[in-house]
Amino acid sequence: MRRGAALGVLAVVIACGSNKGDFDGGEGMDSGAMTDSPVIQEDSSFITPDTGPGGDSGMSGDPDGAFQFDGFAKGDGNLCTDNDGDGWTDCAGDCDDNDSQINPCAFDSDQASGDPVGSDGKDNDCDGNIDNRITCENGLQSGHSVTPDDYRKAIDVCDNPKCKFVNNAIWYGPQSAIARRITGHMGNVFKPKKGSFMAFFATGIADDNIDTPSYRTGDGTDLQQTFMHPSPLSPQQNKNPCGQGQDETKVSIHDYTEIRLTLTAPINAGSFTFDFNFFSEEYPAYACRGFNDTFLAMLTSKKYPQGTQIAFDPNGGRINVNNKFFQACTSIVQGDNLGYTNTCSFPLSDLNGTSYEIKYCCSNLTDGNLNKGSGGTEWLRTTAPISAGETFTISFIVFEEGDGLLDSAVNIDNFRWGSQTIQNPVTAR
């Protein structure tokens, strides 16, 4: 009997479960080839597609190449193929082996995302559901969790059942447990944009009047921490609305909180987006007066190997009391003797219950009454470019400059992938 006929028998007996398409006729079988690949939930062991050689190849010991083999047989006698060359066989979970943008390492979304993937009528990530987002908030509880992985889940950064997107989630720099919180609200108005929870980071106590009715930002909570500036600006780069520029390389950083996520982008991703809002009791006294509490989102990737800041206002200003999005507040006019004007387009009542809804009351504020005002932004949205399949790092950071008083806070939520590519980061309301 020719060896080609013998393969027909062998292929029926061997169960699929490995992507591997090589067989040498003398070595033992791969140990993973005897059972079908199981569906594995997030935070378990993940199946990684084989990126080794595939397709037809001549058998060892078959010099005339008459005996060809292109995969292990499935139970129905068909072969485990990788027709689209995406590294995933249909045995390992590729639910459309003719489309390289569909496999367990792709992302799917829902119509609410606004991305074409969310309304294409396809099961892009092969989880058995069409046009749905993977969620990962199960088991989370409100409170000052010390586990960074809880916060990335609250932000909605999730793995796929069979593919690991989250490589690491860590705290970086000095940390205080009271400066971070898993929460389902910030005051009466701000609720999660996706799911039941969001991540809340502060330069003091991460709290509001809903969870703690007696809580007040007051003149802030000094956490007694100092650190290096993660991305200092020169005076020329750091002009505030009054035209003043401060040298951030010479200022101390206080009350620092950073969560750093190392992620691998899905194979059909061209960007990612997250939502956030920012609050500060530095308004109005410290607008245009030098160093300010700041929120940074730092991206390190193929396009930005040295790291870049991706959250800013329409003028390129960083997220602090000087940015143009800081509009839930009390308007300031030149006659108030604060040296600048600011028109607040949103009512201060949007911040009710946050403890950042203190109305500005007095002109000529001094260091003795800096708690006579505060404010914040509405929900904002930042989108940044990313390359399909690349591993990158995103850090969410909030800190104070100069001292540890006059607290600020940020909520982050609704992280999602996008299939469309963009050239540069953009932040919008």
199 within 8 A of 182, measured Cβ to Cβ? yes
| The predicted structure's pLDDT at residue 17 | 39
* Structure tokens given for 144: 């000052």
Short-list 304, 301, 325, CA closest to 410: 325
Phi first, then psi, for residue 255 (nearest 5°) are 50, 60
In angstroms, what CA-CA distances link 302 with 130, 162, 389?
31, 25, 11
Owner of token pair 């929460």: 183
pLDDT in tens, the chain (429 residues): 433 433 343 333 333 333 433 333 333 333 333 333 333 335 444 544 444 434 433 333 444 444 344 445 555 556 798 999 999 999 999 999 999 999 999 999 999 999 999 999 999 999 999 999 999 999 999 999 999 999 999 999 999 999 999 999 999 999 899 999 999 999 999 999 999 999 999 999 999 999 999 888 877 899 999 999 999 998 888 888 777 778 888 888 999 999 999 999 999 999 999 999 999 999 988 888 778 899 999 999 999 999 999 999 998 999 999 999 999 999 988 767 677 888 899 999 999 999 999 888 765 555 444 567 899 999 999 999 999 999 999 999 999 998 888 899 999 999 999 999 999 999 999
Helix (H, G, I), strand (E, B) or coil at 242: coil
Residue type, 307: G
In angstroms, what CA-CA distances link 335 with 329, 331, 347, 362, 424?
17, 11, 21, 11, 39
Compute the C-alpha angle 45/389/163, nearest 5°.
20
pTM attached to this predicted model: 0.82
| The predicted structure's pLDDT at residue 368 | 45
Short-list 276, 373, 294, 285, CA closest to 329: 373
Give the whole-angstrom CA distance, residue 216 versus residue 195: 27
